[in-house]
Structure 1
Amino acid sequence: MKRAILLLPLLLTGNAPGATTVSVDLTGLRNKTGLVFVCMTAKPAAFPNGCETDPNRRVASIKAADAGPLILRDVPPGRYAIALLHDENGNKKMDKTLFLPKEGFGFSRDAPVRMAPPKFEAAAFDVTAGKPVRMSMKVRYL
């Protein structure tokens, strides 16, 4: 019985063995309106559009006015990529003009954007068991 009581806090927190934290600091926000969302996935097919289709994704959001780090918790070891959206009008989607984004966006490792969003490998980074990751992501606007 005593052993079960000791295991209960571990089960309630949902921590996987070796899970850690990924912290994302933002740079380049053009204003303090709306929200900033990040979605992290380990599935190349879900990056960057379609992250919501990954049942194991990690997401975080923050008010742009707060502009503190976005924290992704309980991240198991693996290879991940992050897509970011500065949703200035709060409609939870990327607004576009003709096919070009009207709102801010970004990718882990500041993966370059050419004629299309970057591929998973351009933005991918590794998470090691128990070792917190801290990165900076630049918000870009067209």
Structure 2
Amino acid sequence: MKINFYTLFFYLFFFSKTFSGELVIKILNIEEKIGSLHFAIYDNPKNFPEEEGKKIGFKKTVSDIINDEVIINNLEESKYAVAIYHDENDNNRFDTILAIPQEKFGFSNDAKVFFGPPSFDEASFFLKKNERLKIEISLR
């Protein structure tokens, strides 16, 4: 029984790493090296870009980001969209005044914003298994 458990563990570990993708996000236009960048990665169009619907969410201190790049490992093959914002005052909120953003933000594919966020299709890209995909997001 121990051999079967260890064999199963090995296969699960090996195949989970072997068939996963890596996403490299290059952030353009970081003007101030203060605060944090908040990242949200979505794989479902119905949830984009809602706070509760993200697949992965995390924040990084801007001063800790090397070469303005963030790497996300072990992503499954899927269609994704990314939203980020620069929380310069580090209050963990996307600050707006009268629904006008006061902090810089961006979406994958540099999807344009017209009176609201872009659609999932406008911001999405496909990550294949075993692929290392580099995308650029311009903060505006």
TM range (shorter): 0.7 to 0.9
Q: Which amino acid aligns with 2:25?
A: V
Kindly indicate whether the alpha-carbon contact (under 8 Å) linking 2:42 and 2:53 is maintained by their aligned counterparts in 1: no
Q: CA deviation at 1:15?
A: 2.8
The 1:72/1:89 distance shift into structure 2, 3 A limit, reads same
TM-score (norm: length of structure 2): 0.85
Structure 2 partner of 1:36: 37
The 1:87/1:125 distance shift into structure 2, 3 A limit, reads same
Kindly indicate whether the alpha-carbon contact (under 8 Å) linking 1:79 and 1:125 is maintained by their aligned counterparts in 2: yes
> For 1:68-104, what per-residue CA distance to the aligned partner results, in whole angstroms no more than 9, with x for missing partners?
3222221111111000011111122200111101111
Asked if residue 84 in structure 1 is aligned to residue 72 in structure 2, the reply is no
Query: d(CA) in 1 for partners of 2:53 and 2:63?
Result: 29
Q: CA deviation at 1:21?
A: 1.2
> For 1:35-58, what per-residue CA distance to the aligned partner results, in whole angstroms no more than 9, with x for missing partners?
00111111112112x14334xx12
The percent of aligned pairs where both chains have the same amino acid is 26
Three-state SS of the structure 2 residue aligned to 1:44 is coil
5+ residue gaps, structure 1: none
| Greater per-residue helix proportion | 2
5+ residue gaps, structure 2: none
Asked if residue 66 in structure 1 is aligned to residue 67 in structure 2, the reply is no
TM-score (norm: length of structure 1): 0.84
Structure 2 partner of 1:26: 27
4+ residue runs over 6 A deviation: none
1:1-142 maps to which residues of 2 (within 5 A)?
A: 1-2=2-3, 4-8=5-9, 11=12, 15=16, 18-48=19-49, 50-54=50-54, 57-68=55-66, 69-140=69-140
Between Structure 1 and Structure 2, how many residues are aligned?
137
Q: CA deviation at 1:134?
A: 1.1
